[in-house]
Each structure stands twice: as structure tokens, then as C-alpha cells.
């Protein structure tokens, strides 16, 4: 069982920080459910 088992995850990425696909990869085997994932660009 992963650390995030039963949790729902909202992933908000930033282009020059950590983009959401990178976060999705990190949480892939965490047991959490990614319900929203997006990257934004403020520049």
C-alpha cells in the first residue's frame, strides 16, 4: 500500500518549476488517485 492510498490528488505544475507530468511520475506508485493535473505558464 502506497503512502497516498485513498487520497485524491490535484497536481498544479509550473513550466519553470515542476511541471505536472513530472509530478504524475512521482505519484504513479503512491496509491493516490490523480483527479486533476495541469501545468501553467505565467511568463
Partner 1 sequence: MPNAAVKACSNCLVHAPEMAERYGNTPYMERLSHPGSEFLAALPKAGQSYEEACRYAPNLTFIGALSVDGLPARPQPWLRNLEPEAVRDGRFGEIMPEDEFLGLMDFCDVFDLIWLSLDFAAGVKGKLKARNFWSPEQLARLEKGRPLAEIEAECREQHALPLYFGGRVVGCCRRGHETDENLSAHVLLENIASKATSILAMMHLLRNSGLPPGEIDFVVECSEEAIGDMNQRGGGNLAKAVAEIAGCRNASGFDVRAFCAGPTAALITAASMVAAGARKNVVVVAGGAVPKLYMNARDHVKKGLPALENVLGSMAVLLTEDDGESPVIRLDSLGKHTVGAGASPQAVTTALAWEPLEKLGLKLTDVDKYAPELHNPEVTVPAGAGNVPEANYKMIAALGVMKKQLERGDIEGFVKERGLTGFAPTQGHIPSGVPYMGHALEEMKAGRLKRIMVIGKGSLFLGRLTNLADGASFLMEKMAGGAGQAAAVTTRDVEEVVLEALGDLAAALNR
Binding test (CB under 8 A) with partner 1, winner from 3, 8, 15, 28: 15
Binding test (CB under 8 A) with partner 1, winner from 17, 29, 31, 36: 17
Taking the least distance from each CB to partner 1, the nearer of 14 and 33 is 14
10 neighbors 38 (Cβ within 8 angstroms):
no
The footprint of partner 1 on this chain (CB under 8 A) covers a number of residues equal to 14
Those residues whose C-beta lies under 8 Å from the C-beta of residue 21, and which sit 6 or more positions away, are 13, 37, 39
> Would you put residue 6 in left (φ > 0), alpha (ψ -120 to 50) or beta?
left
Residues that bind partner 1 (CB under 8 A): 14-22, 25, 39, 41-43
Amino acid at each position: 500500500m502506497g503512502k497516498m492510498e485513498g487520497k485524491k490528488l490535484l497536481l498544479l505544475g509550473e513550466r519553470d518549476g515542476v511541471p505536472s507530468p513530472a509530478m504524475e511520475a512521482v505519484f504513479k506508485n503512491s496509491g493516490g488517485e490523480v483527479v486533476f493535473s495541469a501545468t501553467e505558464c505565467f511568463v
